[in-house]
Structure 1
Amino acid sequence: MKLFRGFRQQLIHEKNIKKYLLYAIGEILLVMIGITLAFQVDNWNEDRVKKIAEIRTYKNIREQINGDKELIKNQIDYNNRYMVQFEYAKEIIFTNDRSKIDTLGAIAAKLTKYSDFDRKGNIYETMVNSGEIQLLQNQSIINRIRWLEERYNYINRMENIHYDIVIGYAAPSITKTVNFVTAEVIEPEQIYSVEFQNLTQLLLQVMIEKDEIYESGITEIDEILALIDIELKDN
């Protein structure tokens, strides 16, 4: 800086206005270039920090929904296990096959079983409240996370409906019909009645719909995971 100041003073002393103006303009340009470079470096650092945060958020989402996927798969297995048995019980009642009354009693004692994913968290809402949603540049991922939350809400509604049927109808009916400890049928006519058959059918309808929404949730998760993998691979 002393060198530049000395050169500038020399030009003033020599009264070389033309050279002085050219020098002054050059000096201004150098300052402007320096400021521009500084801003560019700051912007580059800021973008880099944002990208690191974005990648971290994608990884967190991936970990969370992978965990959800495993939980849903467990619920699918649980739901299907009893759905097959309840379907068989309905067939026994429909055909009035009294030779299978012990089997029917054993299955009837399980009519209170129900799958329960019970997802309490809200990924999308949490990200909005924390500001993390602004870090994500892939709008497709954002949209699909929101759709996944809708699937979760649907699952919770169906599980609540299933629970209400179990508590309000299945449990009282089974208590009067089957011994829970021995699975012995106490009221044969009741367990072979149309009312009991309708109860079994109602439970099956709810379980079938639950299975469909479980599978839909798995599909949505897989699509989000595929999009996240692309983002992480590109970065």
Structure 2
Amino acid sequence: MIKLFRKIRQKLLSENKFSKYLLYAVGEIVLVVIGILIALQINNWNEGKKEAESQQKLFANLKIDFENRLSELEEFHASKRQAITNISRINAIISSSHKEFDEDEVGALLAYQLNNFSFNEDFKLLEGVFNTGLINDIKNETLKRKLIEWPQLVEEMLEEQRIFQNDNLTKYGPLLEKYISNRRLYEHFDFRNYALPKGGQITLKENYEGLLKDPLLENLLATKEVHLRISVIDLGNLTNEAKEIIRLLELTHD
């Protein structure tokens, strides 16, 4: 470029037309610069378009993920409310002055409490958004904030889930095993059609009356009810947040 300029300058000086050719040279340089700037702008536009399309795909996938989780949350919310109702019914049977009760009904009510309500903790897509820094590219500040707060809300619910799992494994389950056949219980356990086929042979001598009279049962059910009621509140909050995140993702995606 310098050599070219010197050559032009010498030519202009020799022809005494320096001003005219200097203006021409500057014009050429300006055109080259403008061309470079336009090329850079087009490249930036293409990159921005690709980035926007990638973000739209991310939002679409996040929406599907949250819709699936919302369905699970609503199922657990309804199931835990049913579990609370069932505990009230068991307590009514325990406190009843009548000696007779329906063993099938009691078995079904007790079996329902074996549900750990195991919510899927795996949020790989959302974790990827955090780990890759894509969360910072989300322009909707409300959506960004809610996505950041989501893991903590889930963790609060999972605390109750872990308590349920531990109590069922170490306290509630072992108590029932002393009086009732596990086979019988799991024949009654109808959550998501997980129940065993009915009619299997049972040789264990069952004692429903002894179980209902055991004070430990009433205490364990009281503990379960407390955690269920806390969990129902957490699930309600989590469900509302999931709905709002889905709504914001829909707006962003559109």
Q: Same fold (TM over 0.5)?
A: yes
In the alignment, what sits opposite 1:121? 123
- Cα distance in 1 for residues equivalent to 2:113 and 2:55: 46
Give the 5 Å matches for 1:188-199.
Answer: 188-199=209-220
Deviations 1:33-92 (A, max 9, x none): 212211211111111111111111111111111111112222223333333212211222
The aligned residue for residue 238 of structure 2 is 217
Which deviates more, 150-159 or 221-230? 150-159
Which residue in 1 is equivalent to 2:60? 59
Contact 1:177 1:187 in 2 (8 A): yes
Contact 1:123-1:145 at 8 Å conserved across structures: no
Correspondence for 1:205: 226
Unaligned runs of 5+ in 2: 186-204
1:147-199: per-residue Cα shift (whole Å, max 9, x none)? 22222222222111101111111112112233445578616255234332111
Identity %: 20
Alignment partner, residue 231 of structure 1: 252
TM-score, normalised relative to structure 2: 0.77
Aligned counterparts of 1:10 and 1:187: Cα–Cα separation in 2: 113
Tell me if structure 1 keeps the 8 A contact 2:72–2:119: yes
**What pairs up with 1:82-231 in 2 under 5 angstroms?**
82-100=83-101, 102=103, 103-181=105-183, 186=207, 188-231=209-252
8 A contact 2:135–2:144 mirrored in 1 = yes
CA contact (8 A) 2:87 2:225 kept: yes
Number of aligned positions between the proteins: 228
Q: d(CA) in 1 for partners of 2:39 and 2:87?
A: 71
1:108 maps to amino acid: L
What residue is the counterpart of 1:17 in the other structure?
18
Q: Does the aligned pair in 2 maintain the 1:141–1:224 contact within 8 Å? A: yes
Q: How many Å separate the matches in 1 of 2:45 and 2:114?
A: 60
RMSD: 2.7
Q: Which runs of 5+ in 1 are unaligned?
A: none
Q: Distance in 1 between matches of 2:206 and 2:83?
A: 19
Residue 8 of structure 1 and its aligned partner are, at CA, apart by 8.9
How many angstroms apart in 2 are the aligned matches of 1:181 and 1:205? 28
Would you say 1:68 and 2:69 are equivalent positions?
Answer: yes
Structure 1 contact 93–192 (Cα < 8 Å) conserved: yes
TM-score after normalising by structure 1? 0.83
Cα gap change, 1:110/1:20 in structure 2, threshold over 3 Å: closer, same or farther? closer
Q: Aligned to 1:155, what secondary structure does the other structure show?
A: helix
Query: 1 or 2 for the larger relative contact order (CA 8 Å, sep ≥6)?
Result: 2
What is the deviation of 1:120? 2.3
SS at the partner of 1:99? coil
Q: Distance in 2 between matches of 1:231 and 1:166?
A: 43
Whole-Å separation in 1 of the counterparts to 2:108 and 2:38: 78
Residue 138 of structure 1 and its aligned partner are, at CA, apart by: 2.3
Query: Do 1:57 and 1:132's aligned partners in 2 also have CA atoms closer than 8 Å?
Result: no
2:26 match: secondary structure: helix
Is residue 9–residue 18 contact of structure 2 (8 Å, CA) maintained in 1? no
